[in-house]
Amino acid sequence: MLASLSYREKSLYASLVSEIVVYGSYFFLHRQNTIDKVAGMIVSIIVLQIILQSLIAAFTRNRVTDERDKLIELRGYRAGYLMLCSLMVLGLGMLWFHATVGDLHLDSRMMGLHFLSVFFSMLVIADITKTATQILAYRKAL
Amino acid sequence: MPVIRNQIRELRAAREMTQQDLADQVGVTRQTVIAIEQDKYSPSLETAFKVAIALGVPIEKCFQYDPRGKR
């Protein structure tokens, strides 16, 4: 199956796997998160991506990308952007609601981590949406 | 029926050219050639001309526009 995939597709599968592996732990261990863990996760996704992408580049002879790859990339970015905007509107709406009702009792020491978690989650979900949309487009031939 | 139809598969077969050969000549991936042949992707005008040149035929022999087709 791997041989039938283009360079871009292999690269996308590697990105999706590394995103799910690294970010998955972030979502499942949300309550135990600290700033250090979030920073560690960002470093680990970068390192994992560099290793996987280097391996794919090393073992793929034909690394041609063309107009269809660009089109699929744009579709992915559009889906990711729409997801990010939707989540941002939802997040702002929830903040507004809690601020209006007045039941937002956040520990000031944890406030930064809470907001970091929320914004980071939005970015992660948007990024996974982008990658998944691109893979789907490749699977459907476009 | 798609809006843009093509005869690339037949023309390629007549020249005993593989999908990879055509992809290399046109400068696209083999997956893109497959997508074009299956009418799932309509290439840009530039790529369409390159395909026609690679197959040695006028562009209208390769690609046809069907105004009643569905995208």
ipTM for the assembly: 0.85
Residue A2 has pLDDT above 70, yes or no: no
Contacts of A49 (CB under 8 A, 6+ apart): A14, A15, A18
Residue A20 has pLDDT above 80, yes or no: yes
Inter-CA distances, A96 with A1, A67, A90, Å: 49, 43, 10
Q: Give the CB-side neighbour count of residue A67, counting CA atoms within 13 A.
A: 14
Which residues in chain B are closer than 8 Å to A11, comparing Cβ atoms? none
Instruction: Give the pTM.
Output: 0.83
Out of A4, A5, A66, whose CB is closest to B32?
A: A66
Which is higher by pLDDT, B65 or A3? B65
Gap between the Cα atoms of A46 and A51, Å rounded: 9
Instruction: Report the C-alpha gap between B24 and B31 in whole angstroms.
Output: 12
C-alpha A96/C-alpha A100 separation (Å) is 6
Two tokens at A38? 């979030």
Contacts of B27 in chain A (CB under 8 A): 64, 66
Mapping DSSP onto H, E and C, the string for chain A reads CHHHCCHHHHHHHHHHHHHHHHHHHHHHCHHHCCHHHHHHHHHHHHHHHHHHHHHHHHHCCCCCCCHHHHHHHHHHHHHHHHHHHHHHHHHHHHHHHHHHHCCCCCCHHHHHHHHHHHHHHHHHHHHHHHHHHHHHHHHCCC
- Tell me the CA distances in angstroms from A103 to A99, A108, B1, one per residue in order: 7, 14, 58
Mean pLDDT, residues A37-48 taken together? 84
Q: Where are the domains of chain B?
A: 4-65
The fold for domain B4-65 equals 434 Repressor (Amino-terminal Domain) (1.10.260)
Interface contact A6-B35, CB threshold 8 A: no
Which residue from A6, A140, A142 is facing B29, i.e. has the nearest CB?
A6
| pLDDT of A125 | 92
What average pLDDT is seen over chain B?
Answer: 91
Under an 8 A CB cutoff, do B29 and A67 touch?
no
| Per-residue pLDDT, A35 | 74
Pick the residue from chain A with its C-alpha nearest to B35.
Answer: A141
What does the alpha-carbon distance between residue A8 and residue A111 come to, in Å, rounded to a whole number?
Answer: 39
**pLDDT for res A104:** 66
A2 close to A60: Cβ distance less than 8 angstroms = no
Cβ of A68 and B28 within 8 Å? yes
Interface test with A, best of B19, B30, B32 (most A CBs within 10 A): B32
- Report yes or no: A76 and A137 within 8 Å, Cβ to Cβ: yes
Report whether pLDDT(A22) > 90: no
pLDDT recorded at residue A62: 77
pLDDT digits (tens, 9 = 90+) for A61-110: 777 889 999 999 999 999 999 999 999 999 999 888 887 887 666 667 67
